[in-house]
Amino acid sequence: MMSSSTKSSEDQEPFELKGNLFTLTVMYLRHCNREAIDRHLAEKIRQAPGFFKNAPVVIDLETLTETDDFIDFAGLYDLLRGRGMIPVGVRNGSAKLQAAAVQAGLPVLPDNRSPVVAKKVDRPSGQRSKIVTQPVRSGQQLYAPDGDLILMGTVSPGAEVLADGSIHIYGTLRGRALAGAKGDTEARIFCQNLEAELVAIAGHYRVFEQLAPDTRGKAVQVYLLEDRLIIEPLSR
């Protein structure tokens, strides 16, 4: 006999809406000469062919030099799509331009400096943290998507460990550690001994040409404070 708490698949909600943070390429548009745009795009793509393929891009209208309020957004959309990029929205610009963009099917994304509070970042809950007990060998790469990475061994030089959340190393970090890989600036890196080649949080990185003498042999944490990487011993 089915208990009343079980739902059939039709009763369950078909989807869930959650806020999330994405890092996107922004195209700061200066003017709308289509030929010039196409030429410049072709050049950029030639330099890095794979980078722009199917890349979502936000068009920022703030740097426009022209004063007229008209932009053929539909034409611009086709132009970019033709080159492999996918416009997903616009940012800034006058109200009239924004309205035109919406008409053409491009949403207006919030300005990063606006007083409107950005949607709360869906912080990785840490419930999907990945625990690895083997040492991470040179040439290996480990990635913990949507959570923290917990390592119970050392990270050899030439190895790379990444996590969308924080990285905890119960051992020596000799390779590279990149936390907050999807942009979470609150992520941290913890290790028992820092001899790393590189550490990074949400894209802000630091290479270590020389081992920092004051943190040698000590347990440290690495965190981001106003875009600066702070490296601090853990023990008082």
Task: Give the residue, chosen from 137, 145, 146, 203, that forms a contact with other proteins under the rule CB under 8 A.
Answer: 137
Q: Please provide the distance, in angstroms rounded to a whole number, between the alpha carbons at the two ends of the chain.
A: 60
In the complex, what is the shortest distance from the CB of residue 136 to other proteins, in angstroms, rounded to a whole number?
8
| Sign of the alpha-carbon dihedral angle for 106, 52, 79, 26 | positive
**Could you say which of 92, 154, 166, 215 contacts other proteins (CB under 8 A)?**
154
User: Least distance in Å: CB of 137 to other proteins?
Assistant: 3
Phi, psi of 155 (to 5 degrees): -110, 115
Cβ of residue 139: shortest distance to other proteins, in angstroms? 5
Kindly state whether residue 134 participates in binding other proteins, applying the rule CB under 8 A.
Answer: yes
Question: Residue 135 or 145: which CB sits closer to other proteins?
Answer: 135
149 binds other proteins (CB under 8 A): no
Residue 77 corresponds to which tokens in the numbers above?
């959309």
CB nearer other proteins, residue 83 or residue 137: 137
- Kindly state the smallest distance separating residue 134's Cβ from other proteins, in Å: 7
Token pair for residue 34? 């289509």
138: contact with other proteins by CB under 8 A: yes
Site string for other proteins, 97-116 (x = CB under 8 A): --------------------
129, 156, 185, 221: residue in contact with other proteins (rule CB under 8 A):
156
Report in angstroms the alpha-carbon separations of 120 from 19, 34, 116, 117, 123: 7, 37, 11, 8, 8
What Cα–Cα distance (Å) separates residue 198 from each residue in 146, 159, 164, 177, 229? 22, 11, 17, 6, 12
Per CB under 8 A, does 192 bind other proteins?
no
Q: Which of 1, 27, 182, 9 is nearest to 93 (CA)?
A: 27
Reading across the β-sheet that carries 25-28, which strands appear in turn? 25-28, 56-60, 86-91
Name 26's bridge partners.
Answer: 58
Q: Which of residues 171-190 bind other proteins (CB under 8 A)?
A: 174
Residue 139 near other proteins by CB under 8 A: yes
**Is residue 217 part of the contact set for other proteins (CB under 8 A)?**
no
* Closest-CA residue to 187 (of 176, 195, 196, 178): 178
Q: Give the residue with the Cβ less far from other proteins, 156 or 221.
A: 156
Instruction: Enumerate binding residues for other proteins (CB under 8 A).
Output: 134-140, 153-154, 156-159, 174
